[in-house]
């Protein structure tokens, strides 16, 4: 039995290393690859994913999973086998040829999306997107049949293992009931006072790059084993010892790039904090995207949109960009960072209205997957829902259904984790500050070590040893509780 486990470790170590190679190729595709490389990159990624699929679904892997005796293993090893079984069950449900076809389709569609987004013309990506939708549906239906769950849950379960959309629907419905009255009160309160003065650009891009790097460093990112680059859509990738984060800069507003860097650094710090002795095993991976998003949002939203953060950051920003006057005060930065007004663009949305963007996308991708919404009708359905939820209307497709990369590069079922992560972030941050009140005082001094140490010992170093809900219970005393998020919003915006 011990030998069966050891052989499983060897097989899944290989799988993990190949997945890391896939991630690096995808980073290169988004950051440095010329457009003409799309076909070759699509073939490379597809082949690697097929190799991974073959290792996981090999009959020997299945037999080893049957032979291993979990009762004779330690807690980490037993949890490792549990995660292996989860990976196997998802992979075994999908034919190899379908894996390759969808991978190639997503690579091609992402490249078309870049052009379509730049020209704000959804019709340019429609044929490729329809192919992605069709293949995603095939994958979901194959998994649903094998795993005896709904088609959408097979996709959502890739990013939030152990959770189902039936658990999430009541949370989203509750927030939609909460939002209109709360949003109206916050907007009225903010409108009653004088608006904070705006910062006047342009802001030199090289100065922005230096500040962005400094922000990542003060959170804890070590650039001896990390990179900060530029991409169409900010993201975090790489491996624990080779972090790759990206942002995008605007000469007119440096705040978007800075907050994106803080967000992605939160992701990177989670990856770097995973248990080193289990890096190359499933149990050493991050505990799904709900927890991953909570770690990025603890840094960006909870810590770095606080008054404490801007007491430290405002003078630093003023020095870096040569700013002076009332607009560069800490209070003004805080007011701008917590201004609430409906936005067409998700990544620019405030934390009060952000969940509406996620709920919109979740509803639409479920309809696309079920065939209740055709890809050709997506722009109209998008515009109708955003008007219904936030009373705003896109003027073009770039402000609507083309703004996110996720559907076009194959990340279906991912969107709900953003808002679930925000809710978990509020809950975890409150627990951290409650246990160590010095965390906020340290942020005032530009010191993130107390916060990151707490997250390391309570979240990061546990990898996948516990389920999402058990991890939250251990760290905060209760499972995911959306009331913690609403309480945070009341405290920040109406107290």
Q: Would you please indicate which residues are annotated as catalytic (active-site) residues? A: 264
Instruction: Report which of 386, 364, 362, 346 is spatially closest to residue 167, judged by C-alpha positions.
Output: 362
Buried b / exposed e across 378-414, counting CB within 10 Å, b at 16+?
Answer: bbebbbebbeebbeeebeebbbbbbbbbbbbbbbbbb
The neighbouring-strand residues paired with 242 are 239
Q: Please tell me whether residue 43 adopts helix, strand or coil conformation.
A: helix
How many CB atoms within 10 Å of residue 7? 16
Q: β-pairing, 242-247 with 226-230?
A: parallel
Distance CA 252, CA 209 (A): 14
Residue 368 exposed, middle or buried by CB count within 10 Å (0-12, 13-18, 19+): buried
Distance CA 199, CA 254 (A): 9
Provide the token pair at 204: 């030199």
Distance CA 264, CA 386 (A): 26
Distance CA 374, CA 365 (A): 10
Round to the nearest angstrom and report the end-to-end CA distance of the chain.
59
Provide the token pair at 49: 């994913």
Decide if 282 contacts 83 (C-beta within 8 A).
Answer: yes
Decide if 447 contacts 441 (C-beta within 8 A).
Answer: no
Question: ω before 485 within 30° of 0 (cis)?
Answer: no
Buried b / exposed e across 179-205, counting CB within 10 Å, b at 16+?
Answer: beebbeebbeebeeeeebeebeeebee
Rg (CA), the chain: 22
How many CB atoms within 10 Å of residue 47? 13
Distance CA 312, CA 331 (A): 11
Q: Please tell me whether residue 374 adopts helix, strand or coil conformation.
A: coil
DSSP 8-state secondary structure symbol assigned to residue 329: S
Q: Please tell me whether residue 73 adopts helix, strand or coil conformation.
A: coil
The neighbouring-strand residues paired with 226 are 243
Distance CA 367, CA 473 (A): 33
Distance CA 418, CA 44 (A): 30
The distance of Cα 10 from the centroid of its chain, to the nearest Å, equals 29
């Amino acid at each position: 039995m011990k030998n069966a486990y050891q052989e499983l470790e060897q097989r899944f170590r290989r799988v993990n290393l190949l997945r890391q190679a896939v991630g690096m190729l995808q980073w290169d595709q988004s950051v440095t690859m010329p457009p003409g490389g799309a076909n070759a990159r699509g073939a490379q990624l597809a082949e690697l994913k097929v190799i991974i699929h073959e290792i996981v679904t090999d009959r020997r892997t299945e037999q080893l999973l049957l032979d291993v005796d979990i009762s004779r293993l330690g807690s980490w090893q037993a949890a490792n086998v549990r995660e292996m079984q989860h990976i196997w069950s998802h992979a075994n449900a999908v034919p190899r040829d379908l894996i390759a076809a969808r991978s190639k389709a997503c690579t091609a569609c992402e490249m078309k999306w870049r052009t379509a987004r730049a020209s704000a013309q959804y019709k340019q990506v429609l044929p490729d997107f329809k192919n992605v939708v069709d293949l995603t549906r095939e994958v979901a239906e194959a998994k649903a049949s094998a795993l005896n769950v709904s088609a959408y849950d097979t996709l959502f379960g890739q990013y939030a293992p152990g959770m189902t959309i039936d658990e999430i629907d009541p949370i989203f419905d509750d927030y939609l009931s909460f939002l209109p009255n709360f949003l109206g009160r916050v907007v009225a309160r903010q409108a009653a006072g004088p608006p904070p003065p705006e910062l006047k650009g342009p802001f030199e891009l090289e100065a922005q790059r230096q500040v962005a790097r400094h922000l990542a460093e003060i959170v804890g990112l070590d650039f001896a084993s990390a990179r900060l680059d530029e991409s169409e859509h900010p993201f975090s990738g790489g491996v624990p010892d080779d972090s790759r984060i990206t942002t995008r800069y605007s000469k007119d507003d440096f705040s978007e790039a800075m907050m994106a860097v803080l967000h992605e650094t939160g992701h990177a710090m989670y990856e770097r904090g995973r248990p080193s002795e289990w890096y190359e095993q499933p149990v050493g991976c991050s505990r799904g995207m709900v927890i991953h998003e909570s770690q990025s949002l603890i840094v960006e939203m909870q810590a770095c949109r606080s008054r404490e953060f801007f007491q430290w950051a405002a003078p630093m920003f003023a020095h870096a960009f040569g700013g002076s006057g009332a607009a560069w005060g800490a209070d003004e930065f805080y007011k701008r960072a917590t201004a609430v007004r409906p936005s067409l663009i998700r990544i620019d949305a405030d934390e009060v209205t952000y969940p509406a963007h996620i709920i919109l996308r979740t509803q639409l991708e479920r309809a696309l997957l079920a065939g209740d919404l055709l890809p050709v009708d997506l722009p109209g359905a998008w515009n109708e829902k955003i008007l219904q939820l936030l009373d705003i209307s896109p003027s073009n497709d770039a402000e609507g259904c083309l703004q996110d990369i996720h559907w076009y590069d194959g990340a279906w079922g991912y969107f709900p984790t953003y808002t679930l992560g925000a809710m978990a972030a509020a809950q975890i941050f409150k627990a951290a500050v409650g246990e160590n009140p010095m965390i906020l005082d340290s942020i005032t001094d530009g010191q993130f070590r107390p916060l990151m140490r707490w997250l390391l010992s309570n979240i990061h170093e546990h990898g996948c040893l516990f389920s999402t809900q058990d991890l939250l219970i251990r760290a905060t005393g209760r499972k995911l509780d959306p009331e913690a998020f609403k309480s945070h919003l009341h405290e920040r915006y109406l107290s």
